[in-house]
Structure 1
Amino acid sequence: MQTAQGPDRGAGTRSDAGPDEPIDPPTDPLGRDVPAVGPAPEDRTTSGARSATRTSSVGMSMVGLTDDADKRARLRRMKAVALSFLLGAAVIWVIFRLWEGNGGPAFTGYVRAAAEAGMIGGLADWFAITALFRHPLGIKVPHTALIPRKKDQLGQSLSGFVGDNFLAPAVVADKLRTAQVTARVGSWLASPGNAARVTAELATVVRGAVTVLRDDEIQAVVDQAVTRRVVAQPWGPPLGRLLAGVLADGSHRRLVDLICDRAYDWVRNNHETVMALVSRQAPSWSPRFVDGLIADRIYAEALSFAWAVKADPDHPLRKAIDRFLVSFAGDLQDDPETGERVEAIKRQLLEHPDVQALISRAWATGKAMLLDAAEDPSSQLRLRVTDGVTRFGERLDTDAELRDKIDGWIVDAAGYVVGRYSREITTLISDTVERWDGHEASRKIELQVGRDLQFIRINGTLVGALVGLAIYSVGELLV
């Protein structure tokens, strides 16, 4: 939306000039300064908005200030050059007009006519160029100050031009195909130094993201995404399927072998423990030597049984264990009662204080590990990422099929974006221009192209002089 403005005035009376930019005084056709006119009363009603604009412009970078100052200086120099041509034509016209009137030679008429036409051409082009940016001499001639009055239409036209000619899907797709983005990226990433640089930038991003995140919020996410999902998911069927798969592969036999070996070793190395156990269970009236004989017999049988289970892979006990495990795997998957027992064990496990403390420390521990790995260039995480980036770059550099596939994805993605959102992208231009004050927009545009436009004034003076000379010559020949 356009801001309220006072009556249009010359460049020197613009109320929208930034504080960092000197106000160019308006000039008459001869380049002389015209006294600035004070702001009209209605301009003061918009002083708040312009004050905000001035405040925001204070933060402009020194590079931008230097660049604008240089452009203003070059624009002034070109204006002075164009004015010098106009003044030169005026001086020549005065001299030769007086000379011609006082009986000068015949050629004075030709020079006077050329200078006169040059002045006309220079003035006409000055008027045309000035009319683009402001009212010449502050006079509201119709169809002048075109940019301040038509900036919104210009912004919309520029927006449509960019959208139709630069953001067309076909144009973007063709540009991306010829740019060979994937090949260039692959060649760049294949260098270890560049891969390390990418890894360092990724580490910076990770550090920034992890530092910004609040621990309590992440802990809530962990609780929501992990703990509650674990609680909601029944454990029985997955455990049953896992156990059934282990049994089908026979992987459990190593565990059974280990248990049998440990059972045999325990019986063999604990003769006194078995003897004492039998003695304690024997009746008080039983003679001790009888207890010893019974204990020795029981120990020998236990040792023999443990050895048989250990040595015989087809021992009935082993088969009984297999049958029990198969049955238990089926119960875990299908038996509701077994499932309820597993769920009760799960709840007890998750509600245990040590488990709760471990879950609450999970994010803090993971965060510390991640930050340490990101900070240390020699950490395994960064080394692996660097190696992965390098290998990916080498593959892009050598695998033409992969490059074509990724290029196709990029082209399709870019075509989708510009095809669907080009209007939203180009409205950035029209919206930005619409937010500009009219005189500020005129000043910005004049600063960019005004220097080149001064050549039109110079050419107008020279071409006008030549045309005037030609017309005068033809007229003299016809007389």
Structure 2
Amino acid sequence: MKLLATGLLVIMAIIFAISFALQGRYPWLEYVRAASEGGMVGALADWFAVTALFRHPLGLKVPHTAIIPTRKNEIGESLGEFVEQNFLSETVVRDKLASVGVSRVVGTWLTKQGNARRLTNEVAAGLTGAMAFLSDDDIRSVIEGLARTHIVGRDWSPQLGVLTSKIVESGQHHHAVDLLLDKAEEWMVANPDSFGDAVSKRLPTWLPSFVDRVVDDRVYREALKFVQAVQADPNHRLRLALDDYLRKLSRELQHDPIMRARVEGVKEQLLDDPRIRELAAVAWQSIKDALLTALADPESGLRLTIEQTILDVGERLVTDTVLAEKVNTWVEGAATHLVASYRHDIASVISETVQGWDGEETSLKIELQVGKDLQFIRINGTVVGSLAGVAIFTIAQALVSLFP
């Protein structure tokens, strides 16, 4: 395009030279000379104007030339301010989000099986990367620190006492007692020999064997009868005794300093026990290995659950208008808050980026992007200059003929 625009200037210069030389012999060439002269003037003027945007014409440091490389910082700041004021305003962002319907768009996208699977893969990759990034020692240290802050560092006895009192008053502990009794009866019925052996081991060795069997059988039958009696009677004395004990324990946990000190001592001993720490480390490693295995398997229950959850969320966003409205309101509020709080920082990225560019490289990049149109300006200037030149000459000739 530069060659084309420059070629037109050269053609105009050649036409001007020929017509200027021969206009005395051929008077009509005066019009051609005027047209070519105007074309040269227009071409040169627009060449100077276009070139002045990007560099100094002919290397001459004429004032107000090489505008882009010398004023790129100001251009970057102006561009950043323009974006901040016209694109990052609360009204523009809110109106755009309201017209888009974020919940509907997102919900429709999530309801597609391929998109849900893709998002599940991304979630799995993110979780896997996060667990690979985290140090096991650091995790254990964090867990231990949290435990010491929130468990060791606080007196939980009053809360335990209140909780125990509420459980006793509501009778919820009866379910646990019933479960223990059922399991005890089930084991005793299925393992009478094991129960007898346990009793025989505690009898004196000098007793005859038949006495052992009699004692084993009697103790077994009495124990089984006792367990069944407690099972059948909701007001059995053992149940009532357990209720009384739990009530007393709840009161002591709340008000007895000695009991509270004993609970704190047991708590500290448990947490300071190396075996507890080792158990915590093993538990974390087991959980981590299980998660990594599940995340690596595309057909694992965990990943299928995540995928189904994504599909369900997308379906609700599309069909549940109340939820969709809440999501849209939340997104609009969050976006406008971010824009109001950080729009200057966002816009400053533009100005800071432009400031970091090299002036000549910036000028070259912009010229390559818009240079074709700028060269058309030179071509148009040549044509318009030619027309203007011949028009001015024609008007001048007419005036001379009218007023000799």
Shift of 1:241: 3.1
Q: Secondary structure at the match of 1:186?
A: helix
Residues 86 and 329 of structure 1: CA distance in aligned 2, closer, same or farther (over 3 Å)? same
355-364 or 158-167, larger mean C-alpha shift: 355-364
Residues 260 and 164 of structure 1: CA distance in aligned 2, closer, same or farther (over 3 Å)? closer
Q: Distance in 2 between matches of 1:273 and 1:371?
A: 45
Q: Distance in 2 between matches of 1:234 and 1:361?
A: 28
Amino acid at match of 1:112: R
State the partner residue of 2:345. 424
State the partner residue of 2:77. 156
State the partner residue of 2:260. 339
Q: Distance in 2 between matches of 1:460 and 1:224?
A: 77
Residues 111 and 195 of structure 1: CA distance in aligned 2, closer, same or farther (over 3 Å)? same
State the partner residue of 1:86. 9
1:99 correspondence with 2:99: no
251-260 or 269-278, larger mean C-alpha shift: 269-278
Please say if residues 84 and 344 of structure 2, whose CA atoms lie closer than 8 Å, have aligned partners that are also in contact.
yes
1:234 correspondence with 2:145: no
Q: Distance in 2 between matches of 1:366 and 1:187?
A: 34
State the partner residue of 1:133. 54
Shift of 1:256: 4.3
1:457 correspondence with 2:382: no
Q: Secondary structure at the match of 2:386?
A: helix
State the partner residue of 1:414. 335
Residues 207 and 441 of structure 1: CA distance in aligned 2, closer, same or farther (over 3 Å)? same
Shift of 1:466: 0.5
Shift of 1:246: 2.9
* Correspondent of 1:433 among 354, 360, 373: 354
Shift of 1:381: 1.3
Q: Secondary structure at the match of 2:299?
A: coil
Cα deviation per residue 1:258-317 (whole Å; 9 max; x = unaligned)?
666758969x987999899899999xxxxx9xx99xx99x97996798376565433444
Q: Distance in 1 between matches of 2:175 and 2:70?
A: 89
Q: Distance in 2 between matches of 1:263 and 1:184?
A: 60
Cα deviation per residue 1:414-448 (whole Å; 9 max; x = unaligned)?
21222222111111122222222322222222122
Q: Distance in 1 between matches of 2:260 and 2:143?
A: 26
State the partner residue of 2:297. 376
State the partner residue of 1:206. 127
TM-score, normalised relative to structure 2:
0.85
Residues 336 and 466 of structure 1: CA distance in aligned 2, closer, same or farther (over 3 Å)? same
Q: Secondary structure at the match of 2:62?
A: coil
Please say if residues 81 and 347 of structure 2, whose CA atoms lie closer than 8 Å, have aligned partners that are also in contact.
yes
Please say if residues 148 and 438 of structure 1, whose CA atoms lie closer than 8 Å, have aligned partners that are also in contact.
yes
Shift of 1:144: 1.4
State the partner residue of 1:216. 137
* Correspondent of 1:389 among 302, 310, 334: 310
Consecutive unaligned residues of structure 2, counting only runs of 5 or more, are none
Q: Distance in 2 between matches of 1:438 and 1:272?
A: 95
State the partner residue of 1:123. 44
Q: Distance in 1 between matches of 2:131 and 2:200?
A: 63
Shift of 1:454: 0.5
TM-score, normalised relative to structure 1:
0.73
Shift of 1:185: 0.8
Cα deviation per residue 1:72-119 (whole Å; 9 max; x = unaligned)?
xxxxxx111111221221222222222213x11x43111111011001
Amino acid at match of 1:223: E
Q: Distance in 2 between matches of 1:360 and 1:276?
A: 38
Q: What is the aligned residue count?
A: 389
Residues 253 and 402 of structure 1: CA distance in aligned 2, closer, same or farther (over 3 Å)? closer
Q: Distance in 1 between matches of 2:176 and 2:318?
A: 49
1:330 correspondence with 2:251: yes
Amino acid at match of 1:249: S
Q: Secondary structure at the match of 1:314?
A: coil
Amino acid at match of 2:43: G
Residues 271 and 124 of structure 1: CA distance in aligned 2, closer, same or farther (over 3 Å)? closer
Q: Distance in 2 between matches of 1:411 and 1:310?
A: 60
212-221 or 459-468, larger mean C-alpha shift: 212-221
Consecutive unaligned residues of structure 1, counting only runs of 5 or more, are 1-77, 283-287
Query: Over aligned residues, Cα RMSD in angstroms?
Result: 3.3
Amino acid at match of 2:296: E
466-475 or 86-95, larger mean C-alpha shift: 86-95
Residues 446 and 357 of structure 1: CA distance in aligned 2, closer, same or farther (over 3 Å)? same
Identify the structure with bigger relative contact order (alpha carbons < 8 Å, sequence gap 6+): 2
Q: Secondary structure at the match of 2:63?
A: coil
Please say if residues 161 and 250 of structure 2, whose CA atoms lie closer than 8 Å, have aligned partners that are also in contact.
yes
Cα deviation per residue 1:383-416 (whole Å; 9 max; x = unaligned)?
1111111100011111222222212222222212
Please say if residues 196 and 220 of structure 2, whose CA atoms lie closer than 8 Å, have aligned partners that are also in contact.
no
Amino acid at match of 1:233: R
**Whose helix proportion is higher, 1 or 2?**
2
Amino acid at match of 1:349: L
Q: Distance in 2 between matches of 1:207 and 1:303?
A: 54
Please say if residues 275 and 299 of structure 1, whose CA atoms lie closer than 8 Å, have aligned partners that are also in contact.
no
